[in-house]
Amino acid sequence: MRVLVVGAGAIGGYFGGRMLEAGRDVTFLVRPRRAAELASAGLVIKSPNGDATLTNPPTVQADKLSQKFDVVLLSCKAFDLDDAIKSFAPAVGDNTAIIPLLNGMLHLDALDKRFGAQHVLGGLCAIAATLNEKREVVQLQPMQSLNFGERAGGLSDRVRAIADAFSAINGAAASDHVMQDMWEKWVFLASLAASTSLMRTSVGNILAAPGGKDFLLGILDECSAIAADAGHAPGGPFFQRTRGLLTTEGSPMTASMFRDIRAGLPVEADHVIGDLIVRADAAKIPVPKLRTAYTHLKAYEKQRQA
């Protein structure tokens, strides 16, 4: 099975690198600068699950991409999606499956429109990883997961085949309810991102402030209500775990969106928070806390543009 990994940053570099390390047929679609880095130093992974240095990993640049691939693994940010689609489009053939690892749901509409829904699986991942100053992939915590599946549910033959190829990744697994998984991740991510970005601090510090716990749980309730209206109410072990993470006193947890704000980087305000508000408005669900967080994020975007 031929796998094209779009980008070789923290997420694509880690998951693609683990597959390449295990002998899978993996090619990285990268920009010229990253291609030069990989050709010179290799793809270096620093991880509590084991380090790896992969010399001369197979790469291709968009203007040279002509072959078709069985799977496209897409891990870009939402604001880079349009450019990413243009770059990997030549790799999509009649039987290509695209696994997007973006947050939220808006990207599914864009991918469906360009390639057809039959090509687009559901997907999500959880990993704490970054590129360091040496451009090495650094995994910060041992926990990791990568899930994918048919959006209509069930386990198809193609998903089973992909699961076999992805078995080289610890924590990778096919899901027969991937849309539920994606909604549950969105609820947690949006709650964490809205809260820590708006308050500019960690969960623990928010909890220690007057009204902090009520605010965190209020955000979670708003996001959960939107998911429930879509037919994907969070519940069971996930919801209890999420509630626990958002009510752990002293927790240093923050969202990557908050860390991006601190670094002056772009954020996925519309994709992660704005789209939830659009859905809430359509369902007449009041979401005052989400609206405040969204206004804050859009003001940040205006300031950054200036």
Question: CATH number, domain at 250?
Answer: 1.10.1040.10
- pLDDT the model gives residue 300: 97
- pLDDT the model gives residue 238: 80
**What CATH number is associated with residue 166?**
3.40.50.720
Of 138, 155, 176, which marks where a domain is finished? 176
- pLDDT the model gives residue 239: 83
Are residue 197 and residue 231 in the same domain, yes or no?
yes
Cβ atoms of 215 and 191 within 8 Å: the answer is no
Are residue 89 and residue 109 in the same domain, yes or no?
yes
Q: Among 17-26, 98-107, 229-238, whose mean pLDDT is lowest?
A: 229-238
Are residue 95 and residue 191 in the same domain, yes or no?
no
Above 90 in pLDDT, residue 80?
yes
- pLDDT the model gives residue 106: 96
Closest-CA residue to 92 (of 149, 168, 29): 29
Of 176, 199, 225, which marks where a domain is finished? 176
Please state, in angstroms and rounded to a whole number, the distance separating the CA atoms of residues 150 and 273.
25
- pLDDT the model gives residue 140: 87
Please report where in the chains the tokens 């360091």 appear, as a residue: 132
Above 90 in pLDDT, residue 190?
yes
Share the mean pLDDT of the chain: 95
Residue 108: which domain range? 2-176
Are residue 71 and residue 155 in the same domain, yes or no?
yes
- pLDDT the model gives residue 280: 98
> Hey, is 139 helix, strand or coil?
strand
- pLDDT the model gives residue 235: 84
Are residue 162 and residue 281 in the same domain, yes or no?
no
Mean pLDDT for the stretch of residues 66-85:
95
Quick one: pLDDT band at residue 242, thresholds 50, 70, 90?
confident
Query: Of 185, 284, 289, 302, which residue is the catalytic one?
Result: 185
Are residue 261 and residue 189 in the same domain, yes or no?
yes
Cβ atoms of 187 and 227 within 8 Å: the answer is yes
Question: In this structure, is the dihedral angle defined by the CA atoms of residues 41, 15, 72 and 260, taken in order, positive or negative?
Answer: negative
Quick one: pLDDT band at residue 33, thresholds 50, 70, 90?
very high
Are residue 169 and residue 128 in the same domain, yes or no?
yes
Are residue 190 and residue 249 in the same domain, yes or no?
yes
Are residue 149 and residue 11 in the same domain, yes or no?
yes
Mean pLDDT for the stretch of residues 77-106:
96
Q: What is the pLDDT of residues 117-160, one digit of tens each?
A: 999 999 999 888 889 999 999 998 898 999 999 999 999 999 99
pTM of the complete model: 0.93
- Known catalytic residue: 86? no
Give residues with Cβ within 8 angstroms of 121, minimum separation 6.
Answer: 97, 98, 99, 100, 148, 149, 150, 151, 159, 178
Q: What is the pLDDT of residues 201-240, one digit of tens each?
A: 999 999 999 999 999 999 999 999 999 999 999 987 888 8
Closest-CA residue to 131 (of 44, 72, 53): 44
Above 90 in pLDDT, residue 258?
yes
Total structural domains within the chain? 2
Are residue 124 and residue 194 in the same domain, yes or no?
no
